[in-house]
Chain A
Amino acid sequence: MNAISLSPADLAIAGSLVAFDALLSVLLRLGLHRQVLWAAGRMVVQLVAVGYLLRFVFALHHPAATLAIVLVMSAIAAREIAARPERKLKGWAGLALSAGGVAIATVVTVGLALLTAIRPHPWYDARYAVTLVGIVLGSVLNAGSLSLDSLLGGVARERSAIEAQLALGASFHQATARLLREAIRRGLLPIINQMSAAGVITLPGIMTGQILAGLDPLEAVKYQILLMFLLAGASGLSALMMAYGALRRLTDERQRLRLDRLRE
């Protein structure tokens, strides 16, 4: 790969576009200039820090370093999923559920890619493992939080409908099947949109990045297809685990609806 290396001056010229946004905000009195500049500055600091961190971790060539960084990223994603829904589970249940869902969805999909398609040597090479986990976690987070929000909101909203079915002898599974389906659907919509738009409406970021970095477009496309499949799998697993796990938590051994396990 013969990537065109960017100099600080190149970035500064592009950065003038952010200054233009800020100027626009001042002229049109949008009240956004502070936010725009702050967000841009924050983005630069975060990315530079991550760049140095990744360079450091890649140089270590140690499975423990790879594992540690993957665990930190997964923990942050799990916390985000648990915090996102409007209605939340009480206590540690929400966090335990999202941590389990994130772990399974990520390990299954990234593990599959590392053991079959990409096969780096060694397989835990941080250059591949950390990058893949980072991409997959985005979809896990998106699908999982949408699915969980839909399920918890739906159960709280449909309480009288669920209990009316239970009172007539329906199983908890029957009484909530529609809400489960609805939640998983919600979780899968973003990846379906992403796949149908890929290449037509949007050029996916990974692919454009690789092409800019000098890779042959068809090679870049193959990578992107592989990634989309991974993201689709991760989204499905995440949506399923969150919705199903939350339902399990909202019932008990006598198949009651336990809304007392939701926070007010």
Chain B
Amino acid sequence: MSPDAPRLRLRGLRSPLAGPFDLDLAAGECLAVGGPSGSGKSLFLRMIADLDPNGGEVALDGMPRPAMAAPDWRRRVAYVAAESGWWRDTVAEHFAPATHAPARALAERLGLPDELFDGPVQRLSTGERQRLAIVRALVLNPPVLLLDEPTGPLDPASIGEMEAVLTARLADGVAMIVVSHDPAQAQRLGARRREMRERRLEAAA
């Protein structure tokens, strides 16, 4: 780990489907990626998280990605998909017991009633699922967060709460890439803006 290395560094990151991408993201920095659907925004995040086959260089705090086992990498560079996935019946079962307390605290800050936590996933609305999926990633305290439309299905009040939580993480030094269609949201998060066009990152209009 070198002290002057960026938190997240991409060089020539590419796959047959998208790229190449070059990017330096410092600790506490946020990048907002806009662009039409199908332009490759999700592919971009999935490649960084190493969920799709890809080539090029990726490093976290100067540590190259191949030096880390894939699960360790993904725990530190956490990706939350636009459509959340669930694999147990109740919400609480999706959290390690040690993370229950911080998860409940975060859920409360996001305006989620505490009893949701003990209930079945099936009873959650799309917006509640999305917020809890983000809580699931936040309790791992990853140094990098990759969020695909984190506030897509949320109402304005919930968006404000989510942005407050994310801003606090940025202040703690987390680097973030957020897919968002709303330039005002990028501004509220203090984010650099880029546009995805035909699977390449370009300066935002």
A interface with B by C-beta (< 8 Å): 158-171, 175, 178, 252, 254-258
Bound-state CA distance A175–B86 (Å) is 11
What 0/1 pattern do residues 42 to 55 of B give for CB contact below 8 A with A? 00000001111100
B83 engages A257 (CB within 8 Å): no
A167 engages B87 (CB within 8 Å): no
Count of B residues near A, CB < 8 Å?
24
Q: Quick one: which of B51, B72, B83, B86 contacts A167, CB cutoff 8 A?
A: B51
Contacts of B50 in A (CB 8 A): 254, 256
Contacts of A164 in B (CB 8 A): 81, 84-87, 133, 136
B70 engages A254 (CB within 8 Å): yes
Quote the shortest CB–CB distance from B99 to chain A (angstroms): 11
Contacts of A254 in B (CB 8 A): 50, 53, 70
Contacts of A170 in B (CB 8 A): 71
- Measured CB to CB, the nearest residue on chain B to A251 is B70
B53 engages A163 (CB within 8 Å): no
B71 engages A255 (CB within 8 Å): yes
B53 engages A169 (CB within 8 Å): no
Given A255-B71, A256-B53; A168-B87 close (CB under 8 Å): no
Bound-state CA distance A35–B136 (Å) is 57
Contacts of B53 in A (CB 8 A): 252, 254, 256, 258
Contacts of B144 in A (CB 8 A): none
A167 engages B84 (CB within 8 Å): no
Residue B194 at the chain A interface, CB threshold 8 Å: no
Quote the shortest CB–CB distance from B57 to chain A (angstroms): 15
Q: Quick one: which of B83, B86, B140 contacts A169, CB cutoff 8 A?
A: B140
Query: Given A160-B81, A168-B75, list of 20 further CB < 8 A pairs?
Result: A158-B85, A160-B83, A163-B81, A163-B85, A164-B84, A164-B86, A164-B133, A164-B136, A166-B51, A167-B78, A168-B78, A169-B71, A169-B75, A169-B76, A169-B140, A252-B53, A254-B50, A254-B70, A256-B52, A257-B51
Contacts of A252 in B (CB 8 A): 53
